[in-house]
Amino acid sequence: MAVLPIIEARDLWTQRGQQTIHRDLQLTVNKGDIVGLVGGSGSGKTTLLRAVVGLDAPVKGEVRLFGVDPIRAGRSSRLDARRRMGMLFQGGALFSALNVFDNIALPLRELKSLDEPLIRDLVMLKLSLVEIEVEHAAKMPAELSGGMVKRVALARALALDPELLVLDEPTAGLDPDRSRSFVSLVQALSKEYGLTVLMVTHDVETLTTLATRVAVLAEGRIVADGKLDEVVKSDHPFVKSFFGHMQAEPASLLNSRH
């Protein structure tokens, strides 16, 4: 049996209002991939993530998440697919009425089959994964700094031990030290669980150290897709301007990869 791709977008067309964002976009993410999605402002990176997880319906084409249509499939299979992934939103999107602990416990409690002692340890584990100290657990999201909101949101995305992480700018707003520990956390998780990651990022360091694949989004489609050193060689004007400094001196930067 052929292994089903985790994410598959075929001939995807999406719109925001009257504006067409993606035209005939193709994207496949296989198990274990850590895909960095790169593109200029307004090129539809976030829209693509939203379409992939089934928040927005595509105008044309189809999306498969774990082999299921995340919008039109039956309720239980749709829910199953969603529970196998965790999403980190750009602004964190923590529930402001719940404290840090309850924010992370919410997806676990929603399963309605775990008991509180188990949930408590699971939440504390996720908090220690993202390096949030225990004394912050009772705080409300409004009392957290921007970087902490990001990390708590990541802990919430990891709550259900997802097979797929969808991350919208995970390292934006983190200091270099924290973004490095984020990178090593994702690397460790992917090694242990075979975690698959689709992330939007502008951070070249995250791309070079973490992503096993880079997909470049421009003109409504993926214009380059592959290993970073292959993508860098592409002739597309956006790739040239984004990775220009790397094309000039590829050796020094590429050698820093693990």
Interface residues toward other proteins, by CB under 8 A: 96-97, 101, 111, 113-115, 117-118, 120-122, 124-126, 128-129, 134-135, 137-138, 140-142, 160-161, 188, 191-193
Q: Which of 201, 96, 92, 111 is nearest to 156 (CA)?
A: 92
Considering the complex, what minimum distance in angstroms separates the CB of residue 78 from other proteins? 16
Distance CA 152, CA 83 (A): 18
Tokens 């969603």 correspond to: 82
**Per the structure block, which two tokens stand in for 47?**
């829209």
Nearer to other proteins among residue 11 and residue 143 (C-beta): 143
Nearer to other proteins among residue 4 and residue 134 (C-beta): 134
Alpha-carbon radius of gyration of the chain: 18
Considering the complex, what minimum distance in angstroms separates the CB of residue 58 from other proteins? 28
Distance CA 40, CA 238 (A): 8
The residues facing 36 across adjacent strands are: 199, 214
Residue 83 backbone dihedrals phi, psi, to 5 degrees: -75, -15
Nearer to other proteins among residue 41 and residue 113 (C-beta): 113
Considering the complex, what minimum distance in angstroms separates the CB of residue 138 from other proteins? 5
3-state secondary structure of 76: helix
22 and 220 Cβ atoms separated by less than 8 Å: yes
Tokens 């292994």 correspond to: 3
Nearer to other proteins among residue 27 and residue 149 (C-beta): 149
Nearer to other proteins among residue 81 and residue 228 (C-beta): 81
| Beta-strand relationship, 60-65 and 7-16 | antiparallel
Nearer to other proteins among residue 163 and residue 219 (C-beta): 163
Considering the complex, what minimum distance in angstroms separates the CB of residue 66 from other proteins? 12
Considering the complex, what minimum distance in angstroms separates the CB of residue 135 from other proteins? 7
Considering the complex, what minimum distance in angstroms separates the CB of residue 112 from other proteins? 9
